[in-house]
Amino acid sequence: MAAAGADSLVLTHLPNIFYLSGFTGSNAILLILGDVMHLFTDGRYTIQAHEEVRQAQVHIVRTSLAEACGGFCRSRSRRKRVRLGFESASLKVAEWTRLKKAAGPGIQWIATTDLIETIREVKSAEELDIMRQAARIASEVVAEASEFVRPGVAELEVAAEIEYRLRRKGASGASFETIVASGPRSALPHAHPTEKLLQKNELVVLDLGAILRHYCSDLTRTVYLGRAPARIRQWYEAVEQAQEAAHDALRAGVTAGSIDRAARRLLHKHGLGSYFVHGTGHGLGIEIHEGPRVGRAQKRRIRAGNVVTLEPGIYVEGVGGIRIEDEVAVHAGGTEVLTTAPRGLLEL
Amino acid sequence: MAAAGADSLVLTHLPNIFYLSGFTGSNAILLILGDVMHLFTDGRYTIQAHEEVRQAQVHIVRTSLAEACGGFCRSRSRRKRVRLGFESASLKVAEWTRLKKAAGPGIQWIATTDLIETIREVKSAEELDIMRQAARIASEVVAEASEFVRPGVAELEVAAEIEYRLRRKGASGASFETIVASGPRSALPHAHPTEKLLQKNELVVLDLGAILRHYCSDLTRTVYLGRAPARIRQWYEAVEQAQEAAHDALRAGVTAGSIDRAARRLLHKHGLGSYFVHGTGHGLGIEIHEGPRVGRAQKRRIRAGNVVTLEPGIYVEGVGGIRIEDEVAVHAGGTEVLTTAPRGLLEL
């Protein structure tokens, strides 16, 4: 906060609000003013806010939260000017307009980015413990794939089965809409599952994750329905090697970009570089996509406590796609793969 | 657009982008410049964008979308000044800063709110048809409650079962995190399901919805595990009557506020007014919460084509809560309840 030139901070990004206050409602502003945190939310959350929030004063608001928060700032900025940081990547223009109007002229507004996100990138032992369990739940479901992935079943049914099993194992939900992409549809990196039936001799990409106690996991495996032809095996091995190269490059102190480039180099060597259309991975935690991003041009350095996915993939339009994704925690002395499902090509 | 004083429009709210272009990816900006729509998205969505988008030119972008879109506007604003509307309730301050920088001085920026949302509030026959099916799926699952709601089962298991059944019936997912709130927890209007086991002689609030072809449904029923005592029955009947009063008040031309007040009046008559801590309902469609809001002070008028929830409830801290929620479509000649599950107190 001091580095950003602010003495106070208004937070609007809900994952940051949860991280600092414990509040899980869907409508909140958190104000850090001096040493005191103030949570503004509405009447739906009266009981819940008092249950969940330990270290902030709770304000139940009947008007808009921005107005209430702004008015509160105004009352506190009478004696001295407040330099109030706000989250420019989260605060909407209209909300900011309301905040500014209600807060009046005694406030100096300072756009900040990633203040809390940067702190969140380094996980505590307690957070890692939850994330380990969330990853295990996803791994267990993937290890059961042979029970529900077979020709004749719709992508949507497989997705339903996956999410049901995640929850039966204790997840509060899926950490994103489960991807079940089969045949040529597996060439869409972010395909929604459809009513398309799985068929023999097709690739199927399964990308899924659990939410456990508000933390996400993320795991991808690619299945072949039948005996995979030689070309598919070669592609699969190339992606596997690309992931290994990324994993070998991953440690505290290196730039995130160098990890991406290690994976990319490997796929280029196999002549598959142009089919790798996204970054190698991303951090995760309370959100499914957090920093550090593991992309080609990322100069930021990996720190102990980071948890990132490594998920190289190739996508050949009209043919299909292959992606292998694991979640890796970075420790001071090495790495720890949190996702434990077998990594080889699964032929069902 | 003309009413807002703009001749062009940059859209950042994804449901609006889907509504106008058909694109379902998670990263996009839609620019309406003159008569032409331009969709900006990233390399992950190359194939998908070309599959889904019919009436817009697709731009696959390697930098930030805001930069690319801004740069494009700059190239088009050389000959004449562009009055560019933007969605102030969706556009983030940081994104706006990037857009403005890339677009240069030839742009006049005009904050707009609810331009597309207002259009979306009036559903077409085709949209209503999808929403009817989405509501039917939710109703069918609730009608099966006796198969999986019973003492000894955890709230989380009930939620898993509900979401599994929604998907087995064709939903692409739940339209929000299913609420299963039992005993004293039912007094939290937006409780997340927990590991708490359902017990005999408890209230259980089930609030759930399906997403079908990108449209949401929303339905709440309250169950009593055992024979409900007289006080619970009286409360339930009061909530039922409040919902009926709201339904009686609902028709094209009335203010949304008058519907809320009809429900509220009824609960006040029973001495329960102070336990009704939220609005009576909300519009829904591509999003689970849309206009028109059915809240006390809403002066906007209901229009034919609106679909709203009517969901009065009472929440008594330490005891429990009761909510009954249905989805009602407003036609020129009357209303149509889309949710077909039985409405009486379900004793299991």
Q: Looking at the structure, tell me whether residues B82 and B132 fall in a common domain.
A: no
Q: Is B157 on the interface with A (CB under 8 A)?
A: yes
Look at residue B3 and tell me if it is in a domain. Answer: no
Q: Looking at the structure, tell me whether residues A113 and A52 fall in a common domain.
A: yes
Query: Residue A297 — φ and ψ, nearest 5°?
Result: -100, 10
Q: Is A159 on the interface with B (CB under 8 A)?
A: yes
Best residue in B87, B90, B92, B95 to probe A by mutation, most A CBs within 10 Å? B92
What are the tokens at B232? 């619970």
Question: What is the pTM assigned to this prediction?
Answer: 0.89
Q: What is the DSSP string of A262-277?
A: HHHHHHHHTT-GGG--
DSSP code of B1? -
| Whether B47 contacts A188, CB under 8 Å | yes
| CATH number of the domain that residue B156 is part of | 3.90.230.10
Give A-chain residues touching B93 at CB under 8 angstroms. Answer: 86, 88-89, 91-93, 96, 111
Q: Looking at the structure, tell me whether residues B172 and B226 fall in a common domain.
A: yes
Best residue in A46, A47, A133 to probe B by mutation, most B CBs within 10 Å? A47
pLDDT of residue A80: 80
A167, B156: Cβ pair inside 8 Å? yes
Per-residue model confidence as pLDDT tens for chain B (348 residues): 777 789 999 999 999 999 999 999 999 999 999 889 999 999 889 989 999 998 999 999 998 999 999 999 999 888 788 999 999 999 999 999 999 999 999 899 999 999 999 999 999 999 999 999 999 999 999 999 999 999 999 999 999 999 999 999 999 899 999 999 999 999 998 888 988 999 999 999 999 999 999 999 999 999 999 999 999 999 999 999 999 999 999 999 999 999 999 999 999 999 999 999 999 999 999 999 999 999 999 999 999 999 999 999 999 999 999 999 999 999 999 999 999 999 999 999
* C-beta neighbour count of A78 within 10 angstroms: 10
| Whether A348 contacts A146, CB under 8 Å | yes
- Work out how many domains chain B is built from and give that number: 2
* C-beta neighbour count of B3 within 10 angstroms: 7
Look at residue B2 and tell me if it is in a domain. Answer: no
B48, A90: Cβ pair inside 8 Å? no
Q: Which residue of B has its CA nearest to A51?
A: B188
Best residue in A141, A167, A275 to probe B by mutation, most B CBs within 10 Å? A167
What are the tokens at B294? 């059915």
| Whether B283 contacts B128, CB under 8 Å | no
Question: Domain end: A119, A151, A177, which one?
Answer: A119
Q: Looking at this predicted complex, what is its ipTM?
A: 0.85
Between the CA of residue B162 and those of A160, B143, B222, B280, what are the distances in Å? 11, 11, 14, 24
Burial (Cβ within 10 Å: 0-12, 13-18, ≥19) of residue B319 = middle
Q: Looking at the structure, tell me whether residues B332 and B198 fall in a common domain.
A: yes
Give A-chain residues touching B210 at CB under 8 angstroms. Answer: none
> Across residues A150-177, what is the average pLDDT?
94
- Please give, rounded to a whole number of angstroms, the shortest distance from the CA of B277 to a CA of chain A: 6
Q: Shortest CA distance to B69 belongs to which of B34, B107, B39?
A: B39
Q: Looking at the structure, tell me whether residues A61 and A171 fall in a common domain.
A: no
pLDDT tens-place string over residues A135-154: 999 999 999 999 999 999 99
CA angle A219, A225, A228 (to 5 degrees): 95
Q: What is the DSSP string of B316-340?
A: ETTTEEEE-BEEEEEETTEEEE---
Look at residue A162 and tell me if it is in a domain. Answer: yes
Q: Looking at the structure, tell me whether residues A262 and A230 fall in a common domain.
A: yes
CA atoms within 13 A on the CB side of A173: 19
Q: Looking at the structure, tell me whether residues B251 and B217 fall in a common domain.
A: yes
| The residue count for chain A | 348
Best residue in A27, A141, A172 to probe B by mutation, most B CBs within 10 Å? A172
Q: Is B81 on the interface with A (CB under 8 A)?
A: no
Give the whole-angstrom CA distance, residue B273 versus residue B139: 28
Residues 6+ apart with CB under 8 A from B289: B282, B283
A88, B93: Cβ pair inside 8 Å? yes
DSSP code of B92? B
CA atoms A230, A233, A239, A243: torsion sign: negative
Burial (Cβ within 10 Å: 0-12, 13-18, ≥19) of residue A80 = exposed
**Partner-chain residue, chosen from B88, B89, B156, that has the shortest CB–CB distance to A172:** B156
Give the whole-angstrom CA distance, residue A219 versus residue A278: 16
Q: Is B172 on the interface with A (CB under 8 A)?
A: yes
| CATH number of the domain that residue B81 is part of | 3.40.350.10
Domain of residue A52: give its range: 8-119
Give the whole-angstrom CA distance, residue A137 versus residue B163: 18
pLDDT tens-place string over residues A8-22: 999 999 999 999 999
A92, B95: Cβ pair inside 8 Å? no
Question: Domain end: B101, B119, B137, which one?
Answer: B119
pLDDT of residue B3: 72
Strand order in the sheet with A346-347: A179-182, A203-208, A219-224, A346-347
B-facing residues of A in 17-76 (CB < 8 A) are 24-26, 43-48
Long-range Cβ contacts of B75-81 (<8 Å, 24+ apart): B76/B33, B77/B103, B77/B104, B77/B106, B77/B107, B78/B106, B81/B106, B81/B107, B81/B108
Question: Domain end: A119, A136, A152, which one?
Answer: A119
A43, B278: Cβ pair inside 8 Å? yes
Burial code (b: 16+ CB inside 10 Å, e: under 16) for B9-19 equals bbbbbbbbbbb
| Whether B57 contacts B76, CB under 8 Å | no
pLDDT of residue B36: 95
Look at residue B78 and tell me if it is in a domain. Answer: yes
Q: Looking at the structure, tell me whether residues A86 and A195 fall in a common domain.
A: no
Look at residue A336 and tell me if it is in a domain. Answer: yes
- Please give, rounded to a whole number of angstroms, the shortest distance from the CA of A333 to a CA of chain B: 34
- Please give, rounded to a whole number of angstroms, the shortest distance from the CA of B85 to a CA of chain A: 13
| The residue count for chain B | 348
Q: Looking at the structure, tell me whether residues B183 and B36 fall in a common domain.
A: no
Look at residue B206 and tell me if it is in a domain. Answer: yes
What are the tokens at A145? 């794939």
Q: Which residue of B has its CA nearest to A175?
A: B177
pLDDT of residue B99: 97
**Partner-chain residue, chosen from B44, B170, B278, that has the shortest CB–CB distance to A278:** B44
Identify residue A57 by its one-letter amino acid code: Q
Q: Looking at the structure, tell me whether residues A180 and A211 fall in a common domain.
A: yes
Look at residue B44 and tell me if it is in a domain. Answer: yes
Q: Is B297 on the interface with A (CB under 8 A)?
A: no
Q: Residue A76: is its pLDDT beyond 90?
A: no
Under 8 Å CB pairs connecting chains A and B tally to 116
Q: Is B190 on the interface with A (CB under 8 A)?
A: yes
A24, B48: Cβ pair inside 8 Å? no
Q: Is B113 on the interface with A (CB under 8 A)?
A: yes
Look at residue B1 and tell me if it is in a domain. Answer: no
Least confident range from A206-220, A331-345, B78-92, B268-282: namely: B78-92
Q: Looking at the structure, tell me whether residues B139 and B266 fall in a common domain.
A: yes
Say how many Å lie between the first and final Cα of chain B, rounded: 53
Coil vs helix vs strand at A172: coil
Q: Is B88 on the interface with A (CB under 8 A)?
A: yes
pLDDT of residue A77: 81
> Across residues A273-289, what is the average pLDDT?
96
pLDDT tens-place string over residues A223-264: 999 999 999 999 999 999 999 999 999 999 999 999 999 999
Q: Looking at the structure, tell me whether residues B176 and B91 fall in a common domain.
A: no
pLDDT tens-place string over residues A27-66: 999 999 988 999 999 988 998 999 999 899 999 999 899 9
